[in-house]
Structure 1
Amino acid sequence: MEEKMKHLEMIQGVINRMASNSFMLKGWAVTLVAGIFALVGNDNENIYNIIAYIPIIVFWGLDSFYLLQERLYRGLYEKVRLLDNSDIDFSMKATEAEFGSEVNNLFSCIISETELYFYFPLAIFCTIIIIFS
């Protein structure tokens, strides 16, 4: 039982890091978008307005990747949880081929509620600021 608990703790540590990375990326996305608008100021050139969307797109993709990794490791956690103690091999391999499903793919993570409800309103907010500036 000790081996199973150690393996589950290792997997849980990875899941926690993925969730922490996702939280930090959301903070960085807001900070960079606000910083871009602060630096641009009242300059109404379209190129500066388009630059504000770049962090949103990049961080949305990266955040979705971390969400996918977190979901894959949750699948590994479930697999290890159900294993017998004698079958524990301390493998940390969580691939999309083994744990992928309809919800465990990148596109599903991109349109997940946690991603869509954060990054889409941020993009709408940028659009509103661009229109009114």
Structure 2
Amino acid sequence: MNENKLKHLEFIQGVINRMGQNSFLLKGWTVTLVAGLFVFANIQEMDYRFISIALIPTIFFWLLDGYFLWQEKLFRKLYDHVRIKAEGEVIDFSMNVKPFAPEISSWMRICLSNTLGLFYLPIIVIIVITMAFVYKY
């Protein structure tokens, strides 16, 4: 394999790894933040508005996680594009993924995918149920 092609694939793989790591960290921060807000809440004086604060970062982390997953899929397409290049083709080390965007589901569609929905929806449901419980009492 051409040395330039191999190096370009390594660059792309590095970006894919970072996107996966960012997604993993966002999930960890979401759980930590929501659990922390619940742990430090005073049950006797808890206000439903205090709990609703947990919805804001959860939704933003969900959207950001979807963005990272979308970018990861775009870079996988770029990886495949570079991988199948013929031996004589010029390697330009381009990291532009815009040409592959029409081939991938939209960012919002990825946010609503099973992968992310099954993680973030239960957290949001728990927050809403807790808000409703606290609001009643």
**Superposition TM-score, scaled by structure 1 size:** 0.90
Structure 2 residue runs of 5 or longer lacking an equivalent are none
Distance 2:69 2:18 in 1: 11
Report the secondary structure of 1:37's partner residue: helix
Distance 2:41 2:9 in 1: 48
Corresponding position: 1:89 with 2:95: no
Tell me which amino acid in the other structure corresponds to 1:87.
V
Judge conservation of contact 1:15–1:70 (CA < 8 Å) in 2.
yes
User: How much has 1:27 moved relative to structure 2?
Assistant: 0.2
Distance 1:132 1:124 in 2: 12
Larger Rg: 2
User: How much has 1:114 moved relative to structure 2?
Assistant: 1.5
Map of 1:70 onto structure 2: 72
Map of 1:25 onto structure 2: 26
Most deviating of 86-95 and 55-64 = 86-95
Identity %: 46
Structure 1 residue runs of 5 or longer lacking an equivalent are none
Residue by residue over 1:67-110, the C-alpha shift from the partner in whole angstroms, topping out at 9 and shown as x without a partner, is: 11101101111111111243211111112xx1123643211211
Judge conservation of contact 1:4–1:88 (CA < 8 Å) in 2.
yes
Report the secondary structure of 1:55's partner residue: helix
Distance 2:95 2:85 in 1: 14
- Aligned length in residues: 131
Distance 1:14 1:93 in 2: 12
Tell me which amino acid in the other structure corresponds to 1:77.
Y
Distance 1:26 1:108 in 2: 18
Map of 1:57 onto structure 2: 59
**Superposition TM-score, scaled by structure 2 size:** 0.87
Please tell me the root mean square deviation across aligned C-alpha atoms, in Å.
Answer: 1.5
User: How much has 1:18 moved relative to structure 2?
Assistant: 0.2
Most deviating of 58-67 and 38-47 = 38-47
Map of 1:41 onto structure 2: 42
Distance 1:104 1:90 in 2: 25
